[in-house]
Copies of this chain bind each other. A is one copy, B any other.
């Protein structure tokens, strides 16, 4: 399915900027922040406003096209993969990886009385690259 259809399927009018923003998300799969999208796309579209990126993500979020990740204290990250999966974020370099988490909601005791809308699973620590850096600097 192409990008325009993906937008239309969620009842979102496929404007040029929405297209470019979703295209960025699907091409990079890098869990970007608003600023990452803004910095990259404004090279090509110098008139782009940060507010538009905020607006667009909020629209995508409301329409269920992306999920918002609260894995970072500072900035929100966004993910066009809305399937249930976890994330690892390196405390040192900030990069984010996907984790295959097979969580059966119905199996979690104590979750039965709630109407669950979203599930987030986050791990934080050091990636293998940064483990090496850390060891190096601690000599």
Check if B125 sits within 8 Å of A117, measured CB to CB.
yes
Q: How far is the CA of A123 from the CA of B99 in the complex (A)?
A: 17
Check if B100 sits within 8 Å of A110, measured CB to CB.
yes
Check if B117 sits within 8 Å of A91, measured CB to CB.
yes
Q: How far is the CA of A86 from the CA of B86 in the complex (A)?
A: 13
A113-137 contacts to B, CB under 8 A, are 113-128, 131
Q: How many residues of A contact B (CB 8 A)?
A: 36
Q: Does A109 contact B (CB under 8 A)?
A: yes
Chain B residue nearest in CB terms to A71? B70
Q: Select A123's contact among B97, B114, B122, beta carbons within 8 Å.
A: B114
Q: Does A76 contact B (CB under 8 A)?
A: yes
Q: How far is the CA of A89 from the CA of B83 in the complex (A)?
A: 20
Check if B91 sits within 8 Å of A100, measured CB to CB.
no
Q: Does A1 contact B (CB under 8 A)?
A: no
Q: How far is the CA of A7 from the CA of B117 in the complex (A)?
A: 38
Check if B125 sits within 8 Å of A115, measured CB to CB.
yes
Q: A70-B70, A117-B91 are in contact. Are A123 and B111 (CB under 8 A)?
A: yes
Q: Interface residues, chain A, CB within 8 Å of chain B?
A: 68, 70-71, 73, 76, 86, 88, 90-91, 97-101, 105, 108-111, 113-128, 131
